[in-house]
Structure 1
Amino acid sequence: MECSWKVLALLVFASLGIQYTAIKSLSMTAMSPCRDVTIKKRCQHLKGSLCEDVNPQSRTQILVFAASRSGSSFLGQLFNQNSDVVYLFEPLYHVQHMFSKAKSTIDRRSLLGAYRDLLRNLFECDFYLLENYMNPTPKDHVVPFIFRRGASNALCSPPVCEHLERVEESLCSKKCKRVNLTLASITCRTHKHMAIKTIRIPEIKYLRTLLEDPRLNLKIIHLVRDPRAVLFSRIYTFVDQYRAYQIWNSSGRKPHNLDLSFIQNICTDYSNSVETAFSKPSWLRGKYMLVRYEDLARDPVRKANEIYNFVGLEWKENLTAWIEENTNAVVPSNVNKYTTNRNSSKTTDNWRLRLNFNIVKSVQELCRTTLSQLGYQVVDSIPQLRNLSQSLIEPRVFLPFL
């Protein structure tokens, strides 16, 4: 029987606004045999090591678990720069995008279920489930794009992309727009490890089923950042979305009926995840590491080595040079919002000089528990806020739960 995904994709699209379970059941019953046959046929036309699969039992899967504007792009690139790792930047974007376009109301449980299902498939080097979140339905497993595929060295290299003299995100996006998911799956299988970055799962508890899956050797790097700094970064990165906050920041007067719930949600998600981790449940043993962005930014080589030791990756010679180049840069004001090129020692405290004290107080009132949990000190005055000689980051050591 010929393995075709047209029928599967149409069925999933039809049910997308109604039942997540349709996606899961169809993928579980039809995906594996089709995937294996298609990949084996494609491998017949490729040479040598491109089809020599790494033993899946030895592969480590890494999830960078974070909130938006918390430094996750930089942390993700610490894995992307390792030739043993295939890295994906926010593949869950496709799920969220498709669900947001569905006419029927999608509840949170269904969305989170779809997220987990896609992560599981990707971690097993099965890229085909992505087709269910592409419109129109892809033909021959070739999709028009993968979100920020240029941020992945593996997806900008042969056999997925054959046209680049050097791996560079802007060049990759221009010259290799379409992605053959079969070739992406083949490439993934030839790498020792896989890393994925996501900002779309709110709490660690929603990852439990993946952490307990015996098919995966999943490690979670939970990246957190001072919520006051997160808000500041969002205000100046997503200008249109945070226009009211910019008015508040410049005038010191809070606009009428400005909704602060998203700030509270960030802190609640941080707190709930940290409380779960600190309770040391058996399903997190050996699988979870908490990292503060500020600690990573201030001593990136040392912290990156700690992260590598925890997940069990070999340190590569190029990593130290890459870190030094990307954390000591002079960056122009019009820099791409996703760039990892920063002067990291300065970015940690930028918010203290530019965020209005009234906004700082409001965040502190909403997030006092979270700030205390993570070792971020509150300020009581403008002079205390602006005095950069006095750190607001307590010297905490968050040891991995082993």
Structure 2
Amino acid sequence: MECSWKTIILLVCASLGIQYTAIRSLTASITSHCPGTETGKQCHSQRRGFSSCSGMSHPHRKPRNNDQTHDRKHILIFATTRSGSSFLGQLFNQHPAIFYLFEPLYHVQQVFANSSARMRNMVDRRALLGAHRDLLSNLYDCNLNFLENYLKPVPRDHETTVFFRRGASNALCEPPLCHMDQNSKDAIEHLCARQCKALNLTLASQVCQTRSHIAIKTVRIPEIKDLRLLSEDPRLNLKIIHLVRDPRGILASRMGTFTDNFRAWKIWNATGRRPRSVDLSQIATTCSDLFNSVGTGLSKPPWLRGKYMLVRYEELAREPFKKTAEIYHFIGLDVDNQVKKWILQNTRGTSGAARNYKYTTTRNSTATAESWRLNLSFQIVQTVQHLCNATLIQLGYQLVQSLKELRNVSNSLVESKAFAPFV
């Protein structure tokens, strides 16, 4: 009987030891997935990829190959809507060593926009930014399957027909992902949309892994400080190209592109009478984000050292070959002949060509950068100058004091101001 009691005690002790070890292992696993969480604190993944911690593991996420990831360069074109980012993106898209993606964060935004009001209230700005960063991190790891969390309808066998602006990425429209007619490169996006059917995300991930550089364009992250976690990720070799534009030009472009959202502005511009429904925050918020982001970049924080370059769209449009060479030098690549050919073909178009398709990059780039001066009323320009005065001064854009000064496009409003990369 005494032996039986000893045996029972030993078994109880052994059981407690096993449970303790299991709990310790689980805690360590949780902590490793959620750095910075307190011991024993639960970490869980919320619906549709909104994680409660950055860097959460995911069933679609592949382990990183540290050597391969370290060698690969990761480029982020950071901009705001209608600031010339599509044009800049194509300068990367044409290079055969670069895997380029056009606005993949669109899919995250769509999931959020299509969710219920209750869900939108639950998901705050930090959670949405966390989802953006998580997607960018996976895409830079060539894990395009991670997008399946945000695609509707849900892909079958990892194939989708709803990849946003697939045609804006040459890599997604070429073999082995698509075998379309290669004789009409000038209209590749339109042909790709018609001829390329479902995109296999697994195969696209494999194509991505063959390229030495990955470039992603986004206008969906408000301020550059929101990129700090990505910039500090030692697994990424990040280069941020911060594209800015004169806010007066941004507003004019938005008015011409997003007619419904800027209808009141267009009425004001056409009649000279300001409707009560004009939403000044549509440009004031943009200027605030620009001012804060540029201020962060120019203050040269340690987490941006060697990773940040500010580019004014007007300078890129005026001297595309020179600015492209500077940008490519910053990312550590030579300008390929395909890039030079594209610049030649897409910066000398007629103004009529630009009107045929609002997202086209074929145009007279210099004329396009200054065209707002002929299209905006002086009253609207004065309003923007009042709302964005600090931003205009910060970026080196001159104010105009009269209609005559506004319309005199022979006199540039872009001051000679050097913005050297932070190296």
TM-score (norm 2): 0.84
**Alignment partners' CA distance in 1, 2:406 and 2:318:** 19
Instruction: For 1:26-65, list aligned pairs within 5 A.
Output: 28-33=57-62, 55-65=68-78
**Alignment partners' CA distance in 2, 1:290 and 1:369:** 17
Q: Which amino acid aligns with 2:162?
A: F
How far the C-alpha of 1:140 sits from its partner, in A, is: 1.3
Aligned to 1:67: 80
Instruction: For 1:313-352, list aligned pairs within 5 A.
Output: 313-330=333-350, 331-332=352-353, 334-352=355-373
Aligned to 2:8: none
Aligned to 1:15: 47
Q: Which amino acid aligns with 1:243?
A: R
Contact 1:349–1:388 (CA under 8 A) maintained in structure 2: yes
How far the C-alpha of 1:22 sits from its partner, in A, is: 6.0
How far the C-alpha of 1:277 sits from its partner, in A, is: 1.0
Farther-moved stretch of structure 1 (178-187 vs 102-111): 102-111
Contact 1:35–1:128 (CA under 8 A) maintained in structure 2: no
Farther-moved stretch of structure 1 (164-173 vs 308-317): 164-173
Structure 2 runs not aligned, ≥5 long: 1-43
Farther-moved stretch of structure 1 (97-106 vs 392-401): 97-106
**Alignment partners' CA distance in 1, 2:373 and 2:335:** 34
**Alignment partners' CA distance in 2, 1:324 and 1:165:** 20
Contact 1:376–1:393 (CA under 8 A) maintained in structure 2: yes
From the superposition, tell whether residues 220 and 35 of structure 1 become closer, same or farther in structure 2 (CA, over 3 Å): closer
2:162 paired with 1:148: no
Q: Which amino acid aligns with 1:200?
A: R
**Alignment partners' CA distance in 2, 1:263 and 1:282:** 30
What secondary structure does 2:90 align onto? Answer: helix
How far the C-alpha of 1:320 sits from its partner, in A, is: 1.7
Partner of residue 420 from structure 2, selected from 382, 386, 399: 399
Partner of residue 304 from structure 2, selected from 284, 306, 320: 284
C-alpha distance after superposition, 1:84-106 (max 9, x if no partner): 00100000000000111111123
2:140 paired with 1:123: yes
2:283 paired with 1:263: yes
Q: Which amino acid aligns with 1:354?
A: N
What secondary structure does 1:314 align onto? Answer: coil
2:389 paired with 1:372: no
**Alignment partners' CA distance in 2, 1:207 and 1:117:** 11
How far the C-alpha of 1:137 sits from its partner, in A, is: 2.1
Structure 1 runs not aligned, ≥5 long: 1-11, 37-52
What secondary structure does 1:313 align onto? Answer: coil
What secondary structure does 1:201 align onto? Answer: coil
C-alpha distance after superposition, 1:118-150 (max 9, x if no partner): 001001101111000012322211122211110
**Alignment partners' CA distance in 2, 1:22 and 1:269:** 26
**Alignment partners' CA distance in 2, 1:150 and 1:247:** 34
From the superposition, tell whether residues 35 and 393 of structure 1 become closer, same or farther in structure 2 (CA, over 3 Å): closer
Contact 1:15–1:22 (CA under 8 A) maintained in structure 2: no
**Alignment partners' CA distance in 2, 1:30 and 1:377:** 52
What secondary structure does 1:348 align onto? Answer: helix
Contact 2:74–2:237 (CA under 8 A) maintained in structure 1: yes
Aligned to 1:6: none
C-alpha distance after superposition, 1:38-64 (max 9, x if no partner): xxxxxxxxxxxxxxx993321101011
How far the C-alpha of 1:292 sits from its partner, in A, is: 0.2
**Alignment partners' CA distance in 1, 2:374 and 2:163:** 37
**Alignment partners' CA distance in 1, 2:256 and 2:401:** 24
**Alignment partners' CA distance in 1, 2:278 and 2:385:** 17
Contact 1:54–1:192 (CA under 8 A) maintained in structure 2: no
Partner of residue 92 from structure 1, selected from 96, 105, 112: 105
What secondary structure does 2:59 align onto? Answer: helix
Q: Which amino acid aligns with 2:47?
A: S
2:214 paired with 1:198: no
C-alpha distance after superposition, 1:154-209 (max 9, x if no partner): 00011211344345111111121311110110000001111000000011000000
From the superposition, tell whether residues 386 and 129 of structure 1 become closer, same or farther in structure 2 (CA, over 3 Å): same
2:88 paired with 1:79: no
Contact 1:66–1:224 (CA under 8 A) maintained in structure 2: yes
Q: Which amino acid aligns with 1:207?
A: L
Contact 1:164–1:172 (CA under 8 A) maintained in structure 2: no
Instruction: For 1:174-189, list aligned pairs within 5 A.
Output: 174-189=194-209
**Alignment partners' CA distance in 2, 1:333 and 1:184:** 31
Aligned to 1:215: 235
2:190 paired with 1:170: yes
Aligned to 2:249: 229
What secondary structure does 2:51 align onto? Answer: helix
Contact 1:13–1:132 (CA under 8 A) maintained in structure 2: no
Contact 2:180–2:191 (CA under 8 A) maintained in structure 1: no
How far the C-alpha of 1:65 sits from its partner, in A, is: 0.4
Aligned length: 372
Q: Which amino acid aligns with 2:378?
A: F
C-alpha distance after superposition, 1:264-300 (max 9, x if no partner): 1110111101111111100000000000000000000
